[in-house]
Structure 1
Amino acid sequence: MRPSRANIAFWLIWFCALTWSYLNGYDDPSSLFYDENRAFDRHLSATREAEVDDFLRREIYPAKHLRPTAPAPGTSAHTKKDILCIGIPSINRTSTAFLPHTIGSLVDSLSPEERESIHIVVLLGDKDPTGHFAYGKDWLFGLADNVVIYQKENSTAAAADDGADIQSGLNYTVLPRDIRGVGRSDDRIENIRIDHSVLFEQCRIRDPTYFALVEDDVIASRDWFSRFKSGVAEVERRSKASGRDWLYLRLFYSELFMGWNNEEVFDYLKVVVLTYSAAIVCLLLALRWRQRRPRAAGPLAGKDFGQNVASLLGLWIPACIALVFVTGRISLHRLTTFSPGVREMPRYGCCAQGVVYPNRHLEGLQTFLREPPYKFPGDMITEGYAERKGWTKWALDPSVLQHVGIVESSDGPRRAEVWNFSFERLLPG
C-alpha cells in the first residue's frame, strides 16, 4: 500500500478509537477524558436503593416479626450447613444511616431457599448499644438472623450469662466489650479489628462454607448471590489447578486504585519493548519473504516499503501506545472483559466493604486480628498475611457491591474515595 493511503487508513482507525475513548472514558480515573462530575452518577445504586426502600415498606416495616432466640456461643441451633455467613459491623453514625439498605439489598432478591442458606450476623459495636439507631428495632430482626451487642460497662456480668439482653428483653447475643480480657482502648483501628474478629468468631460457630465480612455502608446488586457462588467455584477450581490456596474473594474493590500506577512503570516499559520487538520480528520475516518471492512482494517492494516501515516504527506504534494511556486502564479492561467473572488481584485491592473468606482460614484470621500492635486496619494487615502464606487474592469483576460513595459514612457530606465505577454500568435486573 502506498504510504499516503496507509497513513490515511491508520489515522482514520486511530481517530475512531480516540472517539470511543472520549465517549467511554468519563468514569475512568486513569483516562485523559475522566469527568468527575459525571463519573459518580449513581445509576444502578440509586435504582437498587429505590427497590430496597420498596421491599422494606412492603415486607419488613409493617410486619410484626417474632424475635428469634440467638443460639448461645459454642452451640448450633441449625441442622443445615450454611453456604455463607455474613458478618456486618455497624456503629451509630453522625450522617445517613445505611444499615437497612445494606442488609435489605442482600436479601430482597433471594429466593426462600437461598435465604435459608445464608446466616446474617449484625454487630452493633457502640460502647452503649442503646445509642445505636437500630437498637431494639423490629426491622432489624426481620432482616438479620442474629444481633450481637457489647455488654454495657456499668452492667452486671450476669446480664450476659445466657446470651440475651435481659435489661431490654431483647434476644441479642451479648458479649463483653473487652473480648480479650486484657483491656480495650478507644483507638479506632483497635476497635475495628476487634469488632471484625468478633464477627469472624460468631460466624465460625456456625461452621459455614464461607464467611463474608460486609461493611454497613454498601448496596448490593440483585444478582450478587449467584455471582458469588459462581465466583467462589471458579476460584476453588483455579486454586486446585495451581496448587496455591486462596485467602479471599472481594465482592467490592475500588477502581480508583486500579489505574496507571507509578510502581508499575517498568511493567509498562516491558510492554513497549515487546511491542517494538514484535513489530521488528514481523518486518524481518516480511523482508525474508520478499527476498524469496521478489515477484509477489508487491507492497513490500522498494521505496514504499521503506516509508511504511518508518511510519510504523516512528509514528504509528507511538500513536497507539499514546492512545492506550489516554484511553485508560479501566476502559481497556472493560473492552477486553466480555462477561462477569473473577480476576486475580495481587495488588491494589481496596477496600474492606465486602470480602469473602473460606471457612478454613477463619480461626487463624480471628486470632491475627486480635493480636496487637494495632497500627493498621485489618484489610491492610491481611494483605501481608496472604503474602507470607503464599496465598492468592481474588475479586469478582465487576463488583457486586457499591460503596455509598457520595456521602462519606464517617465524615458527613463529601465525596468518598472508595468507588466502583463499573458497578454503575451493570443492568438493574
Structure 2
Amino acid sequence: MWPLSPSHRYHALSSRADRWIVHLRASPILSGVTVFFAIYFLAIIVVRQASYRDPTSVFFDPNHGYDQRYSTVRLEQANAFIETAPKDLSEYAPKFNTTNPDGTLCVGIPSVAREGARYFRSTVGSILDGLSHEERSKIYLMVLIAHTDPSDHPAYAETWLHELPDKVLLYSDYLYGESIQHVRELEKEKAYEQKALLDYTYLLKQCMSQGMPYILMLEDDVVAVDGWYQKTIAAIETAEIMTMARGLKDCEDCS
C-alpha cells in the first residue's frame, strides 16, 4: 500500500472530524455530558482560585494561603502614618476630646519589647491611620510600656509614642515597693502569662476609670484594617439591638 499524500491525509482527517461532529450533533446525551464536564471543570478552577486562602476549604493551599496581601499594604500605611504624624501634628486628627459626651471607646494596648521585631508602632499606626477628626475624638487610646525600666522598650525613646496616644502608662505610675519588686521578679523569671494578667488587669481598670461605654483590649502585634472603627461600632449597635430584642422576648416568655 502506498502512503497517503499530504493532501489525501488532510482529507482523511477532515472526513473523520466531520463524522465525529455529525455524531456529536446527533447524540444529545453525549452533548449534554460534554457540556456538563466542561462546566464542572470550569467551576472547580473558579472555586479553587477563590478558596485557596480558606483553611476550611478542600482547596486550601498551605504554600500560598497565608500570603500577606492586604496586611502588607496596611503595614506600609501604618508605618508611614507613624513616620509623618509627629512631624506635623496640626494635620493630624486631635486626640480624645475630654468634653465630648459622645466618647465611645477606650483602646488599651500593653506592649513589651520583642527581640528582632517592631510590631507595636505598626499596631498603633493602624489604629489611628484613616480615622476622621470626629472618630479620633471619640477614642481614648491608652498604652502600657510593660517594663519596670521603660527604656528597655525601644519605642519609649521615640517621639511618636509620646505624641499620638492619649496616655502612656508606666509601672512607676501605680506600683511601689514590694509590688514593683514582684514585677521585676516576674520579668527575671520570664513568667509571661502571670505578668500579662497583671498588665491587662491594670489597663482594664484604667480604661474603666475613663467612663467610656466600651473597652477594646488589643495585643501589640495586631494590624487594624482601614475602617475598623466604623465596623466595630456597627457590630456593637447590631449586638445591642439583638440583645434588646432577646431581652424583650424573654420578658414576654416570663409573662
> TM-score surpassing 0.5?
yes
Is this contact kept in 2: 1:102–1:217, CA < 8 A?
A: yes
Q: How many angstroms does 1:56 deviate by?
A: 2.5
Match of 2:200 in 1: 196
- Give the TM-score of the pair, scaled to structure 2: 0.72
Match of 1:78 in 2: 98
**2:112–2:146 Cα contact (<8 Å) kept:** yes
Q: Distance in 2 between matches of 1:141 and 1:179?
A: 28
Aligned to 1:232: 236
- Identity among equivalent positions (%) equals 29
Task: From the two aligned structures, give the one with the greater helix fraction.
Answer: 2
Match of 2:152 in 1: 131
The two structures, once aligned, show a CA RMSD in angstroms of 2.9
Q: Which moved more, 1:32-41 or 1:119-128?
A: 32-41
Q: 1:50 to 1:127 in 2, by over 3 A?
A: same
SS at 2:239 equivalent: helix
**2:129 counterpart letter in structure 1:** D
1:40 equivalenced with 2:66 (yes/no): yes
Structure 1, unmatched stretches of 5+, are 66-76, 152-173, 245-429
Is the 8 Å Cα contact of residues 89 and 195 (structure 1) preserved in structure 2? yes
In the alignment of these two chains, the number of paired residues is: 209
Residue number in structure 2 paired with 1:210: 214
Query: Which residue does 1:154 correspond to in 2?
Result: none
- Cα distance change on mapping 1:122 and 1:144 into 2, 3 Å: same
1:231–1:180: structure 2 CA closer, same or farther, 3 Å change rule? farther
Secondary structure of the residue aligned to 1:49 is helix
- Residue 179 of structure 2 is aligned to residue 175 of structure 1: no
In 2, are the aligned partners of 1:88 and 1:215 still within 8 Å (CA)? yes
Q: Could you tell me how far apart the structure 2 residues matched to 1:55 and 1:95 are?
A: 22
Tell me by how many angstroms 1:241 deviates: 1.6
Q: Look up the SS of the partner of 2:52 in the other structure.
A: helix
Do the aligned partners of residues 28 and 64 (structure 1) sit closer, same or farther apart at CA in structure 2, a change above 3 Å counting? closer
Specify the code of the residue in structure 1 equivalent to 2:245: A
1:53: Cα distance to partner?
A: 2.8
For residues 331-385 of structure 1, give each alpha carbon's deviation from its aligned partner in whole angstroms, at most 9, with x where no partner exists: xxxxxxxxxxxxxxxxxxxxxxxxxxxxxxxxxxxxxxxxxxxxxxxxxxxxxxx
Tell me by how many angstroms 1:137 deviates: 2.9
> CA 1:181–1:92 in structure 2 vs 1: closer, same or farther (change >3 Å)?
closer
**Higher radius of gyration, 1 or 2:** 2
When residues 218 and 181 of structure 1 are mapped into structure 2, their CA distance, relative to the original with a 3 A threshold, is: closer
Kept after mapping to 2: 8 A contact 1:127/1:177: no
What is the CA–CA distance in structure 1 between the aligned matches of 2:140 and 2:234, rounded to whole Å? Answer: 19
Q: Look up the SS of the partner of 1:122 in the other structure.
A: strand
